[in-house]
Amino acid sequence: MSDFKCIEFYNDKIIFIDQTKLPLEEIYIKTDDYNRIAEAIEKLEIRGAPAIGVVAAYGLALAMKNKSSQKEQEFYNSYERLRSTRPTAVNLFWALDKMKLIFEQNKNSENIYHILLSAAKEVHKDDIEKCEMIAQNGLNIFQKNSNVLTHCNTGQLATGGDGTALNVIKKGFEKGFVKMVYVDETRPLLQGSRLTAFELEKLNIPFKIITDSTAAFLMKNNDVDLVITGADRIAVNGDTANKIGTYNLAVLSNYHRIPFYIAAPTSTIDCDCESGEKIKIEIREKSEILSIKGVKISKEDYEVYSPAFDLTPNELITGIITEKKLHKPPYKLNDKD
């Protein structure tokens, strides 16, 4: 995808594609304002757990640009602002805490901006490398030329590199292991039909968009060989938080005896979280259910329950693919292996 980059740092500004406009428009946002970056994360202009971590790291560095006084106060203001944007994706907190440690070790340096910028670039580079290693390890899940079902978006738009689950699909396709990708539309924000379809088109990988509720019918008709999704947070025992609708797929896969895989970097593993019961689930605004791109499809005074994520228990997960290896149950995960 040489004509498309999700995240780029150039001339002391972060540049990222506005994902709310895809696939009909490719519009890029360019900024050096950490508040604008925080707003972009909240509005889902930039989304995907690893991508959020990368842009947040750049945001903390940019907060120190041209600051000659009150650096410490400004840094902690920017840290708290970015930390408050999304509660579930652990990569955000991992990246922010990494940057915070570096700031505290170097806060008296006159070169603090460049020190933090170098650290943010390392976070970005690290994610690029992890995406590649996840894809290589993910090749082990394929036994034949397969129809694959995926949910939400896990490609370049969701990461600093070429993606997690979607990168596994890409590598599998290149090796002759993938013949068709079924893309859940992923209500309510349609990350599948808008973003994953956009990426698969650019990769020239055959795909068909389906409604989320079509998955069971496909599985019953033996049209799905395996399911692979990403994750926003993974507990030590393998319980996984991912985009709402993932748990449905795991239950369906278990019933139809179809392998169900998660692909995510080790930075998504929360080593302080023993099980999924500890994971906080973000609840989104009801407008995301009652309208699509600002067009009302239901009455605005109706009550709505709109969790952004759900929890998949570890016993429904066939394997968890990280940059380290393909983990098999029983899971006892950490960020070291």
Residue carrying the six token digits 């009909």: 24
Q: Higher model confidence: residue 2 or residue 258?
A: 258
Please determine, for residue 2, whether its predicted confidence score (pLDDT) is greater than 70. no
Query: Taking residues 96-102, what's their average pLDDT?
Result: 97
Residue 3, pLDDT score: 61
Which amino acid, 275? Answer: S
Topology classification of domain 137-327: Rossmann fold (3.40.50)
User: One of 127, 162, 232, 270 is an active-site residue; which one?
Assistant: 232
Decide if 97 is catalytic: no
Residue with tokens 């278990």: 254
Q: With 80 as the cut, is the pLDDT of residue 311 above it?
A: yes
CATH number among 3.30.365.10, 3.40.50.300, 3.20.20.100, 1.20.120.420, domain 7-132: 1.20.120.420
Backbone angles phi, psi at 10, to 5 degrees: -150, 130
**Token reading at 125:** 């580079």
CA proximity to 1, closest of 227, 166, 118, 248: 166
Tell me the pLDDT band of 67, cut-offs 50, 70 and 90.
Answer: confident
Taking only Cα atoms into account, the Rg of the chain, rounded to an integer number of angstroms, comes to: 20
> Taking the domains of the chain in order of start, what are their residue ranges?
7-132, 137-327
119 near 99, Cβ under 8 Å? yes
The model's pTM: 0.93
**Alpha carbon distance 16, 43 (integer Å):** 13
Residue 294's contacts (CB-CB under 8 Å, 6 or more residues apart) are none
Decide if pLDDT at 267 tops 70: yes
Query: Which of 185-189, 248-252, 331-335 has the lowest average pLDDT?
Result: 331-335
Q: pLDDT at position 1, please?
A: 41
Average pLDDT in the 70-94 region? 93
Higher model confidence: residue 335 or residue 172? 172
The pLDDT confidence band at residue 327, using thresholds 50, 70 and 90, is very high
pLDDT of the residue at 68:
65
Residue pair 192/209 in contact by the 8 Å Cβ criterion = yes
pLDDT, tens only, 201-252: 999 999 999 999 999 999 999 999 999 999 999 999 999 999 999 999 999 9
What is the model's pLDDT at position 21? 95
CA-nearest of 24, 26, 25 to 16 is: 26
Of 255 and 66, more confident: 255
**Phi, psi for 295 (deg, rounded to 5):** -95, 120
pLDDT given for residue 77 in this prediction? 95
pLDDT at 23 over 80: yes
- Mean of all residue pLDDT scores within the chain: 95
